[in-house]
Amino acid sequence: MTATDPPAATPHAPDAGTPAPAPDAGQQQRMRQLSQALDCSDNGVVLCDRNARIHYINEGFTRMFGHRPDEAIGKRPRDLIRGPHTEPATLEQLGARHRAGHAHREDLLGYRKDGSPLWLSVVATPLGGDDGLLVNVFTDITAAKIHEVLSGKVLYALVHEEPLAATAALVCREIERVAPDLLVSVARHEANGELQLLAAPGLPPAFGISATCPLVAQRGRPVEVPDLGADPACGNCHAQASALGLRACWSYPIRSTSGQVLGVLSFHSRHPGQPSPWHRKLAELGQYLCALALEREQARSRMHRLAFYDVLTGLPNRVMFSALCEQPLQLAEQQPMPMALLFVDLDRFKRLNESQGHAAADGLLRDLAHHLQELAGAEAVVGRQVGDEFVLLVPQCPQHRAALLCEQLLAMIAAPRVVGSITVHASASIGVAMYPEDGRGIDTLLQHADLAMRRAKDEGGARFRFFSADMNRLAQERLLLEATLRDSLRHGGLRLHYQPQLHGDGGLYGAEALLRWKHPHLGDIPPARFVPLAEECGLMTPLSYWVLEEACRQLADWHARGIAVPRVALNLSASTFEQPRLVEQVRGLLQRHHLPAAALVLEITEGVMLSEQPQVPANLHALHALGVQLSLDDFGTGYSSLSHLHRLPISEMKLDRSFIGEIGHDPAAAALILSVLRIGESLGKHVVAEGVETEQQRRFLIDNGSPVLQGYLYAPALPADAFERWLHERAST
Ligand code: C2E
Ligand code: CA
Ligand code: CA
């Protein structure tokens, strides 16, 4: 036992009050045992009198602080443990409680004999005797204190989504709190390789980033400068540091779980030298906490980008665009200014996408996104809606400027570009809605610009249109029409009419079924109007299936009643031929109605033939294999390439009525008709001449190869019963 004798027997006690009676041998023995037991403890135990003078210390105290009993006895504990950053108020409190003889506990930063700091918990308990003795038990809580930083505050901030800078500042402040000899800063390693100061709450704003930080970020290893004055690399930052009383700087890399350097944590110490093990421990913890915060921020911004920005072009997406428009729109409410919302949609983008591949089309979109932004200027908000739709909100943009901008955009878009294997001359349709005339909120403006864009597209594309109120009225009408069409389809409001097709000798070749829709209020609506509408609102497939079903039912009915209609031709739109279930449906229908497949003719347009969808040729071949006839409608109007006639199993061509109408007027049309008739003849295909209205036309056609004839000269499309009467009347004349 190196400590003093047991307290009551100490000769050093300067003022121990009334002397206690001398202990007997047994008591002495017990006290020695007690003292031995106390020496085993890791806690420092100190016995003081009412004047706070030390009477006794155990070995634990010596191990903890380095003071031997002869150095401690007679002194006050506060004089032994006090150091540069011990809080005077806490010490004061300790003293006052002590004098009052109250039990108490306090946490404080203390110092060892060698000057190194440690966090202490002090529990003082009066022994209750007349001599006013008190036991102080000191516990080293440094590790627990550090843990408190971790679990208590920083993790709380992380969990509660505090902003990154605030969390970094919290880490700094908490480290400074447990190690008041330090000033701490955190810098973030940016994607461009530069360091950006995130937090340095204890340092003046001008202090900036330590000279050693870039080195730390580069090498990913700590750099500890024990004496800033002696390190040439620290040149001018030394002057700044020494003005603040800082002598050493130790910087540590902050690494992600994958090892990437996310930032640098710097400790600026008021004392020169290397960091103590305690400092190192704090650094380790600080690095860990900062890594958590920075990694979480990385994940958050990645998610933010994914949620609000279009991955392909980097432009704000639909949601973000609207959010970004809020501010300029609000501003314009306070300080009125004209703004333009431009809705840009590429023409025929789908075809480009299909013919040149997605990668090429993506390249075009990226390129356009870049140029749109450039032309619209830094003030404009540019976003990508979906697919090939871009939107721009341009502030300070009266109508004449908007028109000019549209011209520029159209010219930029029309410039030839190499996309995939070809040079494309893209074009776009642009709709413009003006703030505030056409709407004050972003949704209305978008909706109106979209309508204007559609008008530009309907007029042929490669142009821009300003929104006007009548567009809105038409759009409302369309919406209403769409709803009614849906309803008619479901509740039997549609009819098929049949137009006869005749051989040159007058015999019935077949009938073309044509769709008719009588709107409850608007009356007859021509298919040229409602068929595209059905296509746009996704009604085309159910509509086509209805037509197929109804035509087969009618044909079977005629057959059952002995009415000889050899075949019925149907018009199916391009999108219907993309349906994977089409062939199965047709096969089922033919079976159900006991019809020979050859009685069904499906008219296809060139759009169908040109489709890049692999399902389309597959369907055409499968239908042909089934025995269904395929007819090429409107022949001569498009790019009708003869090569398609070879490639696809077409058995019939329909000469477009625009040529028939020119018979007797335009020799070129007549020549074309003749050559089509020749081609049909040599390829062994039927040619149906549509739109035959006059005797002259009939004569010309019959004289030149006798195609099948269809037109008002014979009959318009008729309801089934009228068609039957027409047949009957013909037979009887
Ligand atoms: P289309 O397939 O070329 O149909 C021929 C059109 O010419 C029909 O117009 C018919 O009534 C009209 N027509 C017939 N003979 C004459 C004539 O001598 N002179 C003139 N001027 N016109 C004649 P409709 O019924 O208005 O159909 C227009 C277009 O609507 C059709 O052109 C077709 O593309 C589409 N359509 C009609 N019914 C359907 C259908 O059931 N499904 C699909 N997808 N489209 C249909
Ligand atoms: Ca047709
Ligand atoms: Ca036609």
Nearest CA to ligand 1 atom 13: 691
Rounded average pLDDT over 229-240 = 71
Q: Are residues 290 and 329 in the same domain?
A: no
606 in contact with ligand 1, CB cutoff 6 A: no
Do residues 570 and 708 both lie within one domain? yes
Which residue puts its alpha carbon closest to atom 11 of ligand 1? Answer: 717
- State residue 457's pLDDT score: 93
Question: Domain holding 43: CATH number?
Answer: 3.30.450.20
Last residue of one domain, picked from the residues 434, 467, 500: 467
**Do 109 and 149 have their domain in common?**
no
In this prediction, residue 641 has a pLDDT band, given cuts at 50, 70 and 90, of low
The CA-atom distances, in angstroms, between 515 and each of 464, 518, 569, 572, 719 are 34, 10, 12, 11, 10
Cα 601 to ligand 3 centre (Å): 13
* Euclidean distance between CA atoms 569 and 514, whole angstroms: 9
- Residue 15 falls within a domain, yes or no? no
693 lines ligand 1 (CB under 6 A): yes
Q: Are residues 123 and 168 in the same domain?
A: no
Q: Is residue 631 domain-resident?
A: yes
Query: Candidates 571, 660, 712: which one to mutate for ligand 1, based on the most atoms within 8 Å of Cβ?
Result: 571
Q: Which atom belonging to ligand 1 lies closest to the Cα atom of 527?
A: 30
Nearest CA to ligand 1 atom 8: 514
Distance 654 CA to ligand 3 centre (A): 7
Ligand 3 ion: residues within 5 Å (CB): 633-634
Instruction: Summarize pLDDT for 555-585 with one digit per residue, the tens.
Output: 999 999 999 999 999 999 988 999 999 999 9
**Do 267 and 335 fall within a single domain?**
no
Is residue 11 assigned to a domain? no
pLDDT of residue 9 exceeding 50: no
Query: Which amino acid makes up residue 486?
Result: R
pLDDT for 235: 60
Q: Which atom of ligand 1 is nearest to the CA of 717?
A: 11
Instruction: Output the pLDDT for position 306.
Output: 80
Instruction: For residue 583, give the CATH number of its domain.
Output: 3.20.20.450
- pLDDT value at residue 209: 84
Q: Which of 277, 307, 337 is the last residue of a domain?
A: 307
Give the residue, out of 499, 514, 662, with the most ligand 1 atoms within 8 A of its beta carbon, to mutate for a pocket test. 514
**Is there a single domain that holds both residue 296 and residue 395?**
no
Distance CA 678, CA 698 (A): 17
| pLDDT score for 151 | 65
pLDDT at 4: 40
Query: Average pLDDT of 121-132?
Result: 85
Question: Residues of the chain with pLDDT > 90: what percent?
Answer: 55
Radius of gyration from C-alpha coordinates of the chain = 46
**569 and 706 share one domain:** yes
- Give residue 373's pLDDT: 94
Select from 117, 140, 163 the last residue of a domain.
Answer: 140
Give the number of domains in the chain.
4
User: Considering the entire predicted model, what is its pTM?
Assistant: 0.50
Least confident of 158-162, 222-226, 563-567: 158-162
**646 has pLDDT over 80:** no
Mean pLDDT for 340-351 is: 93
Ligand 1 centroid distance, CA of 44 (Å): 104
514 Cα–ligand 2 center, Å: 8
481/414: higher pLDDT: 414
Residue 6's CB is within 10 A of a number of other CB atoms, namely 20
Exposure letters 214-235 (e unless 16+ CB within 10 A, then b) = bebbeeeebbbbbebeebeebe
What residues form DSSP beta bridges with 500? 511
Is the same domain home to 605 and 657? yes
Give residues with Cβ within 8 angstroms of 586, minimum separation 6. 548, 600, 623, 626, 628
How far is ligand 1, taken at its centre, from the CA of residue 516, in Å? 10
CA of 25 to the centre of ligand 1 (A): 128
Classified as helix, coil or strand, 496 is strand
> How would you class 186 by CB atoms within 10 Å of its CB: exposed for 0-12, middle for 13-18, buried for 19 or more?
buried
Check residue 582 and give its pLDDT: 96
338 lines ligand 1 (CB under 6 A): no
Which residue lies with its CA nearest to atom 10 of ligand 1?
717
- 687 with 707: CB under 8 angstroms? yes
Q: How confident is the model at residue 683 (pLDDT cuts 50, 70, 90)?
A: confident
Report in angstroms the alpha-carbon separations of 255 from 216, 219, 358, 599.
11, 12, 38, 75
Ligand 1 nearest atom to the CA of residue 710, by list position? 15
Atom index in ligand 1 nearest the CA of residue 526 equals 26
What CATH number does residue 230 fall under?
3.30.450.40
Taking residues 454-466, report their average pLDDT: 93
Q: pLDDT grade, residue 642 (50/70/90)?
A: low
Give the Å distances, CA to CA, from 269 to 251, 272, 522, 717.
11, 7, 87, 97
Nearest ligand 1 atom to alpha carbon 634: 3
Among 67-81, 132-146, 223-237, 300-314, the minimum mean pLDDT is found in 223-237
Specify the pLDDT at position 421: 76
Asked if the structure places residue 473 within a domain, the reply is no
Look at residue 3 and tell me if it is in a domain: no
Residues 640 and 721 in one domain: yes
- State the amino acid at position 541 in one-letter form: T
Kindly indicate the confidence band of residue 21, based on its pLDDT and cuts at 50, 70 and 90: low
Q: Considering the domain boundaries, does residue 20 fall inside one?
A: no
pLDDT band of 49, cuts 50, 70, 90:
confident
Q: Name which residue sits closest to atom 42 of ligand 1, judged by CA.
A: 571
Q: Is residue 509 part of a domain?
A: yes
Which residue do the tokens 């068609």 mark? 723
Q: Where are the beta strands (DSSP E) in 614-717?
A: 629-635, 652-655, 686-689, 708-709
**Atom of ligand 1 lying closest to residue 690 CA:** 15
Both 573 and 709 in one domain: the answer is: yes
Same domain, yes or no, for 201 and 121? no
Query: Domain residues for 699?
Result: 479-732
Indicate whether residue 449 lines ligand 1 (CB < 6 A). Answer: no
CATH assignment at residue 447: 3.30.70.270
Q: Which of 132, 119, 170, 139 is nearest to 50 (CA)?
A: 132
Atom of ligand 1 nearest to the CA of 547: 41
Per-residue pLDDT averaged across 373-391, rounded? 94
Pair 706, 598 in one domain: yes
Within-domain flag for 674: yes
Lowest average pLDDT, out of 162-171, 543-552, 591-600, 636-645, goes to 636-645
**What percentage of the chain reaches a pLDDT higher than 70?**
95
